Amino acid sequence: MTQTTTPASEAAEVTRCQAGHKSERPCWRPAAEINPMETDRMLCSEHMEVFRRDEDLDGKLHALEAVRAFLHSDTVERDPHDYLKGLALDLLETVTEAAATAAHRLRVAEVLADSGPEAVWPESSVMREYGAHLHARSDAISDAFAVVVDERQPSETERLAIVAVLKEAGRKINDEYDKFRAEQGLRG
């Protein structure tokens, strides 16, 4: 006797992503990878990307905390020439920018992972990522507005995402200003 499988029975055999499995909105995607922190849990590629980007952000936040601690240490405070303070401030800016980029990348991954089966995204993975990037930037601008207008205190991750969007906006405006000056024949 030959046994045939129907699409419904094949779908039942697929292991589902276990992200949010104890919540009201469990992930609907098939599992693709084993979560390295919980070897008994399988995740879809979108939630695995969230996991990887969250790990990256954690490392950058740890570095940011260490640089801030060094900046306020006795060693820096007692430097008679403020040379260490200048170096620590430069390092703080570099690490903050890296953490801001990591926070934004995490938010992009979360946007993609949180989208339901009804979400309409482009076929191209590059365009999906770009659309999620724009969505995350829009959220960060809204958060920045709320911070300024409502005097709301953002979380560290929200603050870093705001830093990332402000740096990007600043670069674009500087580029537009440089283009304007060149078009107008202005030098110097």
Please report whether residue 140 resides in a domain.
Answer: yes
pLDDT of residue 22: 86
Mean pLDDT of 146-166: 92
CA distances from 148 to 17, 104, 140, 154, 165 (A): 39, 20, 12, 11, 15
Q: Is residue 76 situated within a structural domain?
A: yes
**Mean pLDDT, the chain, whole residue set:** 89
Residue 9 lies in a domain: no
Whether residue 84 is contained in a domain is answered as yes
pTM of the predicted structure, to 2 decimals: 0.81
- Min mean pLDDT across 31-35, 103-107, 127-131, 136-140 is at 31-35
Structure-token pair, residue 112 = 């993609």
Which of helix, strand or coil describes residue 34?
A: strand
In terms of residue numbers, what domain contains 56?
14-183
Structural domain total, the chain: 1
Provide the pLDDT for residue 188: 65
